[in-house]
A and B are shown apart, each in its own frame.
Chain A
Amino acid sequence: MQISTDIGTWIAAIATIGIMSFAFKDNPLYKLVENVYVGVSAGHALVLGWINIRDRGIEPLTSKGDWQVLVPLALGVLLYTRYSKRIAWLSRFPLAILVGIGTGLAIRGTIGSQIVSQVKSTILPLNSVNNILIVLGTLGVLTYFFFSVEHTGALKHVSVFGRYIMMVSFGAAFGSTVMGRMALFIGRLHFLYANWLGIIK
Protein backbone atom coordinates (compact mmCIF):
# COMPACT_ATOMS: atom_id res chain seq x y z
CA MET A 1 0.00 0.00 0.00
CA GLN A 2 1.22 3.48 -0.76
CA ILE A 3 0.02 7.04 -1.09
CA SER A 4 -2.59 7.62 -3.78
CA THR A 5 -1.68 9.02 -7.18
CA ASP A 6 -5.28 9.69 -8.14
CA ILE A 7 -6.09 13.38 -8.58
CA GLY A 8 -9.69 12.96 -7.39
CA THR A 9 -8.50 11.33 -4.17
CA TRP A 10 -6.13 14.23 -3.56
CA ILE A 11 -8.84 16.83 -4.07
CA ALA A 12 -11.14 14.95 -1.71
CA ALA A 13 -8.36 14.61 0.87
CA ILE A 14 -7.53 18.31 0.80
CA ALA A 15 -11.22 19.22 1.14
CA THR A 16 -11.60 16.79 4.04
CA ILE A 17 -8.62 18.16 5.95
CA GLY A 18 -9.54 21.76 5.15
CA ILE A 19 -12.99 21.31 6.63
CA MET A 20 -11.81 19.37 9.67
CA SER A 21 -9.42 22.19 10.48
CA PHE A 22 -12.48 24.32 11.26
CA ALA A 23 -12.87 22.44 14.53
CA PHE A 24 -9.50 23.78 15.62
CA LYS A 25 -9.79 27.26 14.21
CA ASP A 26 -12.32 29.07 12.05
CA ASN A 27 -10.37 29.78 8.87
CA PRO A 28 -10.81 31.24 5.38
CA LEU A 29 -10.34 27.86 3.68
CA TYR A 30 -13.28 26.42 5.58
CA LYS A 31 -15.47 29.38 4.69
CA LEU A 32 -14.45 29.15 1.05
CA VAL A 33 -15.15 25.42 0.84
CA GLU A 34 -18.48 25.81 2.65
CA ASN A 35 -19.60 28.45 0.16
CA VAL A 36 -18.56 26.27 -2.76
CA TYR A 37 -20.79 23.50 -1.37
CA VAL A 38 -23.79 25.74 -1.12
CA GLY A 39 -23.15 26.75 -4.73
CA VAL A 40 -22.71 23.19 -5.98
CA SER A 41 -25.86 22.04 -4.14
CA ALA A 42 -27.93 24.77 -5.75
CA GLY A 43 -26.37 24.15 -9.16
CA HIS A 44 -27.06 20.43 -8.88
CA ALA A 45 -30.68 21.16 -7.97
CA LEU A 46 -30.93 23.35 -11.06
CA VAL A 47 -29.67 20.54 -13.28
CA LEU A 48 -32.09 18.02 -11.85
CA GLY A 49 -34.95 20.50 -12.00
CA TRP A 50 -34.24 21.09 -15.66
CA ILE A 51 -34.13 17.34 -16.43
CA ASN A 52 -37.45 16.85 -14.66
CA ILE A 53 -39.07 19.65 -16.62
CA ARG A 54 -37.56 18.50 -19.91
CA ASP A 55 -38.54 14.82 -19.61
CA ARG A 56 -41.97 15.25 -18.04
CA GLY A 57 -43.13 18.61 -19.40
CA ILE A 58 -41.41 19.65 -22.58
CA GLU A 59 -40.85 16.27 -24.26
CA PRO A 60 -44.45 15.07 -23.97
CA LEU A 61 -45.51 18.39 -25.49
CA THR A 62 -43.08 18.45 -28.42
CA SER A 63 -42.94 14.76 -29.32
CA LYS A 64 -46.38 13.49 -28.31
CA GLY A 65 -48.43 16.67 -28.54
CA ASP A 66 -49.69 16.23 -24.99
CA TRP A 67 -51.23 19.70 -24.49
CA GLN A 68 -52.33 19.02 -20.94
CA VAL A 69 -48.77 19.54 -19.66
CA LEU A 70 -49.05 23.21 -20.62
CA VAL A 71 -51.00 23.72 -17.40
CA PRO A 72 -48.20 22.70 -15.00
CA LEU A 73 -45.56 24.32 -17.21
CA ALA A 74 -47.40 27.65 -17.04
CA LEU A 75 -47.99 27.25 -13.30
CA GLY A 76 -44.31 26.49 -12.81
CA VAL A 77 -43.32 29.70 -14.55
CA LEU A 78 -45.76 31.60 -12.33
CA LEU A 79 -43.68 30.59 -9.30
CA TYR A 80 -41.13 33.15 -10.43
CA THR A 81 -43.55 36.08 -10.38
CA ARG A 82 -42.71 36.39 -6.69
CA TYR A 83 -39.72 38.50 -7.67
CA SER A 84 -41.97 41.27 -8.99
CA LYS A 85 -43.94 43.09 -6.29
CA ARG A 86 -46.82 43.88 -8.64
CA ILE A 87 -47.66 40.36 -9.83
CA ALA A 88 -46.19 38.35 -6.94
CA TRP A 89 -49.67 37.16 -5.96
CA LEU A 90 -49.77 34.98 -9.09
CA SER A 91 -47.11 32.74 -7.55
CA ARG A 92 -49.68 31.70 -4.96
CA PHE A 93 -51.55 29.50 -7.45
CA PRO A 94 -48.76 26.98 -8.10
CA LEU A 95 -47.90 27.09 -4.39
CA ALA A 96 -51.52 26.36 -3.53
CA ILE A 97 -51.46 23.27 -5.75
CA LEU A 98 -48.20 22.01 -4.24
CA VAL A 99 -49.43 22.64 -0.72
CA GLY A 100 -52.84 21.13 -1.45
CA ILE A 101 -51.39 17.90 -2.85
CA GLY A 102 -48.77 17.59 -0.11
CA THR A 103 -51.25 18.23 2.68
CA GLY A 104 -53.88 15.90 1.24
CA LEU A 105 -51.40 13.06 0.75
CA ALA A 106 -50.00 13.50 4.25
CA ILE A 107 -53.45 13.48 5.87
CA ARG A 108 -54.68 10.42 4.00
CA GLY A 109 -51.46 8.52 4.72
CA THR A 110 -51.13 9.55 8.35
CA ILE A 111 -54.51 8.31 9.50
CA GLY A 112 -53.81 4.75 8.34
CA SER A 113 -50.08 4.27 8.89
CA GLN A 114 -49.42 6.50 11.82
CA ILE A 115 -52.65 6.21 13.78
CA VAL A 116 -54.82 3.16 12.95
CA SER A 117 -51.92 0.73 12.35
CA GLN A 118 -50.16 1.92 15.48
CA VAL A 119 -53.32 1.67 17.58
CA LYS A 120 -53.88 -1.83 16.20
CA SER A 121 -50.37 -2.91 17.25
CA THR A 122 -50.91 -1.50 20.74
CA ILE A 123 -54.01 -3.63 21.30
CA LEU A 124 -52.11 -6.35 23.15
CA PRO A 125 -53.36 -8.77 25.81
CA LEU A 126 -52.15 -7.69 29.26
CA ASN A 127 -50.46 -11.02 29.97
CA SER A 128 -46.84 -9.95 30.35
CA VAL A 129 -44.87 -7.13 31.96
CA ASN A 130 -43.64 -6.03 28.55
CA ASN A 131 -47.14 -5.76 27.10
CA ILE A 132 -48.34 -3.82 30.13
CA LEU A 133 -45.39 -1.45 29.77
CA ILE A 134 -46.06 -0.90 26.07
CA VAL A 135 -49.75 -0.15 26.62
CA LEU A 136 -49.25 2.06 29.70
CA GLY A 137 -46.27 3.82 28.15
CA THR A 138 -48.13 4.67 24.96
CA LEU A 139 -51.14 5.94 26.93
CA GLY A 140 -48.83 7.87 29.28
CA VAL A 141 -47.13 9.72 26.44
CA LEU A 142 -50.51 10.53 24.87
CA THR A 143 -51.61 11.90 28.24
CA TYR A 144 -48.46 13.97 28.64
CA PHE A 145 -49.33 15.84 25.46
CA PHE A 146 -52.80 16.50 26.76
CA PHE A 147 -52.96 20.26 27.24
CA SER A 148 -56.48 21.43 27.89
CA VAL A 149 -56.82 19.94 31.37
CA GLU A 150 -54.57 20.57 34.37
CA HIS A 151 -52.68 17.38 35.26
CA THR A 152 -53.74 16.51 38.81
CA GLY A 153 -54.53 13.32 40.66
CA ALA A 154 -54.34 10.10 38.67
CA LEU A 155 -53.84 12.04 35.43
CA LYS A 156 -50.67 13.50 36.88
CA HIS A 157 -49.21 10.07 37.66
CA VAL A 158 -49.98 8.79 34.18
CA SER A 159 -48.47 11.83 32.49
CA VAL A 160 -45.36 11.82 34.67
CA PHE A 161 -44.92 8.14 33.80
CA GLY A 162 -45.31 9.12 30.15
CA ARG A 163 -42.62 11.75 30.52
CA TYR A 164 -40.16 9.24 32.00
CA ILE A 165 -40.92 6.75 29.24
CA MET A 166 -40.14 9.50 26.74
CA MET A 167 -36.86 10.17 28.51
CA VAL A 168 -35.89 6.55 27.89
CA SER A 169 -36.76 7.09 24.20
CA PHE A 170 -34.67 10.23 24.09
CA GLY A 171 -31.85 8.35 25.77
CA ALA A 172 -32.10 5.73 23.03
CA ALA A 173 -31.97 8.50 20.43
CA PHE A 174 -28.95 9.99 22.18
CA GLY A 175 -27.09 6.68 22.23
CA SER A 176 -27.95 6.00 18.61
CA THR A 177 -26.82 9.46 17.55
CA VAL A 178 -23.37 8.83 18.97
CA MET A 179 -23.08 5.79 16.70
CA GLY A 180 -24.15 7.86 13.70
CA ARG A 181 -21.75 10.73 14.32
CA MET A 182 -18.86 8.35 14.85
CA ALA A 183 -19.79 6.38 11.72
CA LEU A 184 -19.50 9.56 9.66
CA PHE A 185 -16.14 10.34 11.18
CA ILE A 186 -14.85 6.80 10.72
CA GLY A 187 -15.87 7.00 7.06
CA ARG A 188 -13.75 10.12 6.56
CA LEU A 189 -10.77 8.76 8.50
CA HIS A 190 -10.91 5.49 6.60
CA PHE A 191 -10.84 7.44 3.38
CA LEU A 192 -7.78 9.39 4.53
CA TYR A 193 -5.86 6.39 5.85
CA ALA A 194 -6.83 3.81 3.21
CA ASN A 195 -7.66 5.58 -0.05
CA TRP A 196 -5.33 8.55 0.27
CA LEU A 197 -2.34 7.68 2.47
CA GLY A 198 -2.57 3.94 1.89
CA ILE A 199 -1.41 3.09 5.40
CA ILE A 200 -4.25 0.66 5.98
CA LYS A 201 -6.16 -1.71 3.76
Chain B
Amino acid sequence: MFEKLARMDRRIIYAVVFLSLSIPLIWPIGLGVTVGPETKELYNTVESLAPGSAVILSMDTSPGGYGELASGAAALLNHLSRQGIRVIGMGFFDTGPSLLETAFGGSDFKNKQYGTDYVNLGYLAGSETAIARMAKDIPGSFPRDYRGNLTPELPAMEGISSAQDVALVITISSGTPGVPEWIRQVGDPMGVPIATAIVAVNVPNMTPYMQSGQLSGMIPSMKGAAGYESLMGTSGLGIRGMDAQSISHLTILALVLLGNVVYLGTKSGASRGGGR
Protein backbone atom coordinates (compact mmCIF):
# COMPACT_ATOMS: atom_id res chain seq x y z
CA MET B 1 0.00 0.00 0.00
CA PHE B 2 2.84 2.38 0.89
CA GLU B 3 4.45 1.77 -2.48
CA LYS B 4 1.25 2.78 -4.18
CA LEU B 5 0.84 5.89 -2.04
CA ALA B 6 4.45 6.88 -2.67
CA ARG B 7 3.84 6.73 -6.41
CA MET B 8 0.70 8.91 -6.20
CA ASP B 9 0.34 11.10 -9.29
CA ARG B 10 1.28 14.68 -8.43
CA ARG B 11 -1.79 15.89 -10.27
CA ILE B 12 -3.94 14.44 -7.52
CA ILE B 13 -2.05 16.62 -5.05
CA TYR B 14 -2.55 19.65 -7.30
CA ALA B 15 -6.27 18.96 -7.42
CA VAL B 16 -6.42 18.72 -3.62
CA VAL B 17 -4.72 22.12 -3.28
CA PHE B 18 -6.99 23.64 -5.88
CA LEU B 19 -10.06 22.49 -4.00
CA SER B 20 -8.74 23.48 -0.57
CA LEU B 21 -8.36 27.03 -1.88
CA SER B 22 -11.50 27.20 -4.02
CA ILE B 23 -14.09 25.85 -1.60
CA PRO B 24 -13.45 28.38 1.21
CA LEU B 25 -13.29 31.19 -1.35
CA ILE B 26 -16.72 30.30 -2.74
CA TRP B 27 -18.29 29.27 0.59
CA PRO B 28 -16.53 31.33 3.28
CA ILE B 29 -16.29 29.97 6.80
CA GLY B 30 -15.65 33.28 8.57
CA LEU B 31 -12.79 32.30 10.88
CA GLY B 32 -11.94 35.93 11.59
CA VAL B 33 -8.56 37.66 11.46
CA THR B 34 -5.89 38.66 13.94
CA VAL B 35 -3.87 41.86 13.70
CA GLY B 36 -0.12 41.61 14.20
CA PRO B 37 1.75 44.29 16.19
CA GLU B 38 3.87 45.31 13.17
CA THR B 39 0.71 45.96 11.12
CA LYS B 40 -0.87 47.90 13.97
CA GLU B 41 2.31 49.99 14.19
CA LEU B 42 2.10 51.00 10.53
CA TYR B 43 -1.60 51.74 10.88
CA ASN B 44 -0.96 53.99 13.86
CA THR B 45 1.89 55.76 12.06
CA VAL B 46 -0.36 56.58 9.10
CA GLU B 47 -3.17 57.54 11.48
CA SER B 48 -0.88 60.05 13.21
CA LEU B 49 0.24 61.79 10.00
CA ALA B 50 -1.06 65.33 9.60
CA PRO B 51 -3.41 65.84 6.62
CA GLY B 52 -1.48 67.29 3.71
CA SER B 53 1.83 65.76 4.70
CA ALA B 54 3.65 63.80 2.03
CA VAL B 55 4.58 60.11 1.88
CA ILE B 56 6.77 58.28 -0.63
CA LEU B 57 5.14 55.10 -1.90
CA SER B 58 7.65 53.05 -3.84
CA MET B 59 6.38 50.15 -5.93
CA ASP B 60 9.42 47.90 -5.79
CA THR B 61 7.97 44.75 -7.23
CA SER B 62 7.23 42.85 -10.42
CA PRO B 63 3.79 41.58 -11.47
CA GLY B 64 4.65 38.21 -9.90
CA GLY B 65 5.22 39.74 -6.47
CA TYR B 66 2.37 42.20 -6.89
CA GLY B 67 -0.07 39.30 -6.98
CA GLU B 68 0.75 38.79 -3.32
CA LEU B 69 0.97 42.48 -2.36
CA ALA B 70 -2.04 43.95 -4.16
CA SER B 71 -4.43 43.52 -1.23
CA GLY B 72 -2.02 45.16 1.24
CA ALA B 73 -1.22 48.00 -1.16
CA ALA B 74 -4.93 48.68 -1.71
CA ALA B 75 -5.70 48.82 2.01
CA LEU B 76 -2.76 51.13 2.59
CA LEU B 77 -3.66 53.47 -0.28
CA ASN B 78 -7.26 53.69 0.93
CA HIS B 79 -6.02 54.64 4.37
CA LEU B 80 -3.66 57.30 2.98
CA SER B 81 -6.52 58.66 0.89
CA ARG B 82 -8.86 58.79 3.88
CA GLN B 83 -6.22 60.64 5.92
CA GLY B 84 -5.73 63.22 3.16
CA ILE B 85 -2.04 62.39 2.71
CA ARG B 86 -0.17 63.38 -0.46
CA VAL B 87 1.25 60.25 -2.06
CA ILE B 88 4.45 60.57 -4.06
CA GLY B 89 4.63 57.38 -6.05
CA MET B 90 7.74 55.96 -7.70
CA GLY B 91 9.37 52.61 -8.37
CA PHE B 92 12.79 51.01 -8.59
CA PHE B 93 11.64 47.93 -10.51
CA ASP B 94 10.93 48.80 -14.15
CA THR B 95 7.43 47.37 -13.82
CA GLY B 96 6.81 49.42 -10.66
CA PRO B 97 5.26 52.59 -12.11
CA SER B 98 2.77 50.69 -14.29
CA LEU B 99 1.76 48.60 -11.30
CA LEU B 100 1.40 51.85 -9.38
CA GLU B 101 -1.07 53.06 -12.01
CA THR B 102 -2.95 49.79 -11.53
CA ALA B 103 -2.89 50.21 -7.75
CA PHE B 104 -4.04 53.87 -7.79
CA GLY B 105 -6.84 52.91 -10.20
CA GLY B 106 -8.02 50.17 -7.86
CA SER B 107 -8.02 52.36 -4.74
CA ASP B 108 -9.90 55.41 -3.46
CA PHE B 109 -7.33 57.62 -5.14
CA LYS B 110 -9.18 57.17 -8.42
CA ASN B 111 -11.67 59.76 -7.09
CA LYS B 112 -8.89 62.19 -6.13
CA GLN B 113 -6.98 64.76 -8.15
CA TYR B 114 -3.87 63.50 -9.96
CA GLY B 115 -0.99 65.93 -9.55
CA THR B 116 -2.42 67.46 -6.38
CA ASP B 117 -3.33 64.52 -4.15
CA TYR B 118 -1.06 61.94 -5.70
CA VAL B 119 1.62 61.62 -8.36
CA ASN B 120 3.45 58.80 -10.09
CA LEU B 121 7.00 59.93 -10.76
CA GLY B 122 7.96 56.78 -12.65
CA TYR B 123 11.00 54.56 -12.67
CA LEU B 124 14.63 55.45 -12.06
CA ALA B 125 17.16 52.94 -13.39
CA GLY B 126 20.09 51.78 -11.29
CA SER B 127 18.65 49.93 -8.31
CA GLU B 128 20.38 50.98 -5.05
CA THR B 129 22.31 53.72 -6.91
CA ALA B 130 18.99 55.15 -8.05
CA ILE B 131 17.53 55.15 -4.53
CA ALA B 132 20.59 57.01 -3.21
CA ARG B 133 20.42 59.50 -6.09
CA MET B 134 16.69 60.11 -5.65
CA ALA B 135 16.99 60.61 -1.90
CA LYS B 136 19.14 63.72 -2.31
CA ASP B 137 17.14 65.40 -5.03
CA ILE B 138 13.66 64.18 -5.98
CA PRO B 139 12.68 66.68 -8.71
CA GLY B 140 16.20 66.47 -10.18
CA SER B 141 15.96 62.70 -10.35
CA PHE B 142 12.49 62.77 -11.88
CA PRO B 143 12.36 65.85 -14.18
CA ARG B 144 9.08 64.52 -15.58
CA ASP B 145 6.48 62.27 -13.98
CA TYR B 146 5.34 58.96 -15.49
CA ARG B 147 2.57 60.69 -17.41
CA GLY B 148 5.00 63.18 -18.95
CA ASN B 149 4.23 66.29 -16.85
CA LEU B 150 7.05 68.49 -15.59
CA THR B 151 7.56 67.43 -11.98
CA PRO B 152 8.30 70.85 -10.42
CA GLU B 153 4.98 72.16 -11.77
CA LEU B 154 2.92 69.53 -9.93
CA PRO B 155 1.17 70.99 -6.85
CA ALA B 156 1.74 67.73 -4.93
CA MET B 157 5.50 68.31 -5.13
CA GLU B 158 5.36 71.63 -3.31
CA GLY B 159 8.00 71.80 -0.60
CA ILE B 160 9.51 68.44 -1.59
CA SER B 161 13.13 68.51 -2.64
CA SER B 162 14.79 65.57 -0.89
CA ALA B 163 13.61 62.43 0.86
CA GLN B 164 13.99 64.32 4.13
CA ASP B 165 10.88 66.34 3.25
CA VAL B 166 8.53 63.37 3.46
CA ALA B 167 7.03 62.01 6.67
CA LEU B 168 7.31 58.34 5.77
CA VAL B 169 8.61 56.00 3.07
CA ILE B 170 6.59 52.88 2.26
CA THR B 171 8.10 50.30 -0.06
CA ILE B 172 5.81 47.68 -1.60
CA SER B 173 8.55 45.12 -1.76
CA SER B 174 9.24 41.71 -3.24
CA GLY B 175 12.99 41.65 -3.79
CA THR B 176 16.11 43.71 -4.51
CA PRO B 177 16.20 46.70 -4.26
CA GLY B 178 13.92 46.52 -1.25
CA VAL B 179 13.87 47.19 2.46
CA PRO B 180 17.63 46.76 3.19
CA GLU B 181 18.52 49.19 0.38
CA TRP B 182 15.96 51.76 1.55
CA ILE B 183 17.23 51.50 5.12
CA ARG B 184 20.87 51.79 3.99
CA GLN B 185 20.43 54.77 1.69
CA VAL B 186 17.47 56.66 3.19
CA GLY B 187 16.25 55.35 6.55
CA ASP B 188 19.50 55.26 8.53
CA PRO B 189 21.51 58.13 6.98
CA MET B 190 18.59 60.57 6.59
CA GLY B 191 16.45 59.57 9.54
CA VAL B 192 13.29 59.03 7.49
CA PRO B 193 11.00 56.28 8.85
CA ILE B 194 10.74 53.27 6.52
CA ALA B 195 7.75 50.93 6.41
CA THR B 196 6.84 48.14 4.04
CA ALA B 197 4.20 45.86 2.62
CA ILE B 198 6.24 42.79 1.89
CA VAL B 199 6.02 39.29 0.42
CA ALA B 200 5.86 36.48 2.97
CA VAL B 201 9.15 34.91 1.85
CA ASN B 202 11.00 37.95 3.17
CA VAL B 203 9.06 38.44 6.40
CA PRO B 204 11.42 36.47 8.70
CA ASN B 205 14.40 38.47 7.34
CA MET B 206 12.71 41.67 8.50
CA THR B 207 12.62 40.82 12.22
CA PRO B 208 16.13 42.18 12.94
CA TYR B 209 15.15 45.49 11.35
CA MET B 210 11.82 45.62 13.20
CA GLN B 211 13.43 44.89 16.58
CA SER B 212 16.16 47.49 16.05
CA GLY B 213 13.60 50.12 15.05
CA GLN B 214 15.13 50.58 11.58
CA LEU B 215 11.78 49.51 10.18
CA SER B 216 8.68 51.25 11.52
CA GLY B 217 5.81 49.01 10.58
CA MET B 218 5.08 46.23 8.14
CA ILE B 219 2.21 44.58 6.29
CA PRO B 220 3.34 40.97 5.99
CA SER B 221 1.71 39.44 2.90
CA MET B 222 -1.99 38.53 2.95
CA LYS B 223 -2.09 38.09 6.73
CA GLY B 224 -1.01 41.72 7.13
CA ALA B 225 -3.45 42.90 4.48
CA ALA B 226 -6.30 41.17 6.32
CA GLY B 227 -5.18 42.79 9.57
CA TYR B 228 -4.95 46.22 7.95
CA GLU B 229 -8.39 45.86 6.40
CA SER B 230 -9.89 44.94 9.75
CA LEU B 231 -8.25 47.98 11.38
CA MET B 232 -9.78 50.12 8.64
CA GLY B 233 -13.15 48.46 9.16
CA THR B 234 -13.35 47.39 5.51
CA SER B 235 -13.26 44.00 3.82
CA GLY B 236 -11.04 43.29 0.83
CA LEU B 237 -9.17 40.38 -0.66
CA GLY B 238 -7.06 40.07 2.50
CA ILE B 239 -9.95 39.18 4.79
CA ARG B 240 -11.74 37.21 2.09
CA GLY B 241 -8.63 35.14 1.42
CA MET B 242 -7.83 34.17 5.01
CA ASP B 243 -10.28 31.26 5.15
CA ALA B 244 -8.62 29.77 2.10
CA GLN B 245 -5.25 30.38 3.76
CA SER B 246 -6.41 28.48 6.84
CA ILE B 247 -7.62 25.46 4.91
CA SER B 248 -4.66 25.34 2.55
CA HIS B 249 -2.19 25.59 5.46
CA LEU B 250 -3.88 22.58 7.08
CA THR B 251 -3.72 20.77 3.74
CA ILE B 252 0.01 21.37 3.36
CA LEU B 253 0.66 20.22 6.93
CA ALA B 254 -1.41 17.10 6.32
CA LEU B 255 0.58 16.40 3.15
CA VAL B 256 3.90 16.71 5.00
CA LEU B 257 2.61 14.38 7.71
CA LEU B 258 1.24 11.83 5.26
CA GLY B 259 4.38 12.02 3.15
CA ASN B 260 6.53 11.22 6.17
CA VAL B 261 4.33 8.31 7.22
CA VAL B 262 4.59 6.89 3.71
CA TYR B 263 8.36 7.51 3.74
CA LEU B 264 8.79 5.60 6.98
CA GLY B 265 6.48 2.88 5.68
CA THR B 266 8.36 2.36 2.41
CA LYS B 267 11.69 2.61 4.21
CA SER B 268 10.82 -0.28 6.52
CA GLY B 269 9.41 -2.18 3.53
CA ALA B 270 12.49 -1.48 1.43
CA SER B 271 14.91 -2.71 4.07
CA ARG B 272 13.37 -6.12 3.56
CA GLY B 273 13.32 -5.87 -0.22
CA GLY B 274 16.74 -4.24 -0.49
CA GLY B 275 17.69 -1.01 -2.29
CA ARG B 276 15.81 2.25 -2.27
- What number of B residues sit within 8 Å (CB to CB) of A? 60
Is A173 part of the binding interface, using a Cβ–Cβ cutoff of 8 Å?
yes
Is A172 part of the binding interface, using a Cβ–Cβ cutoff of 8 Å?
yes
Interface on B for A, CB 8 Å cutoff? Answer: 11, 14, 17, 21-22, 25-26, 64, 67-68, 70-71, 94-95, 97-98, 122-129, 132, 141-144, 180-181, 183-185, 187-189, 199-201, 203-205, 208, 211-214, 220-223, 237, 240-241, 244-245, 248-249, 252
Is A32 part of the binding interface, using a Cβ–Cβ cutoff of 8 Å?
no
A173 contacts B201, C-beta separation under 8 Å: yes
The 4 tightest CB contacts between A and B, nearest first, are: A109-B184, A180-B200, A121-B212, A183-B222
Contact of A101 among B22, B129, B208 (CB under 8 A): B129
Contact of A189 among B21, B122, B203 (CB under 8 A): B21
CA distance A15 to B261 in the complex (A): 38
The DSSP consensus for interface residues of chain A is helix
A176 contacts B200, C-beta separation under 8 Å: yes
A52 contacts B127, C-beta separation under 8 Å: no
Residue of A nearest to B247 (CB): A182
Is A179 part of the binding interface, using a Cβ–Cβ cutoff of 8 Å?
yes
Instruction: Digitize A23-55: 1 where CB-to-B-CB distance is under 8 Å, 0 elsewhere.
Output: 110000000000000000100110011011001
A residues near B67, Cβ cutoff 8 Å: 183-184, 187-188
A178 contacts B252, C-beta separation under 8 Å: yes
Within 8 A of B (CB), among A40-79: 41, 44-45, 48-49, 51-52, 55-56, 59-60
Of the candidate stretches A88-96, A110-118, A142-150, A156-164, the one touching chain B is A110-118
Interface on A for B, CB 8 Å cutoff? Answer: 23-24, 41, 44-45, 48-49, 51-52, 55-56, 59-60, 98, 101-102, 105-106, 109-110, 112-114, 117-118, 120-121, 169, 172-173, 176-180, 182-190, 193, 199-200
- 20 residue pairs from A and B, CB less than 8 Å apart: A98-B126, A105-B185, A112-B184, A112-B189, A113-B187, A117-B188, A118-B212, A121-B213, A172-B204, A173-B204, A176-B204, A183-B71, A184-B64, A186-B241, A186-B245, A187-B67, A189-B22, A189-B25, A193-B26, A200-B26
A residues near B11, Cβ cutoff 8 Å: 23-24
A186 contacts B25, C-beta separation under 8 Å: yes
Residue of A nearest to B72 (CB): A183
B residues near A180, Cβ cutoff 8 Å: 68, 199-201, 221
A residues near B221, Cβ cutoff 8 Å: 176, 179-180, 183
A120 contacts B212, C-beta separation under 8 Å: yes
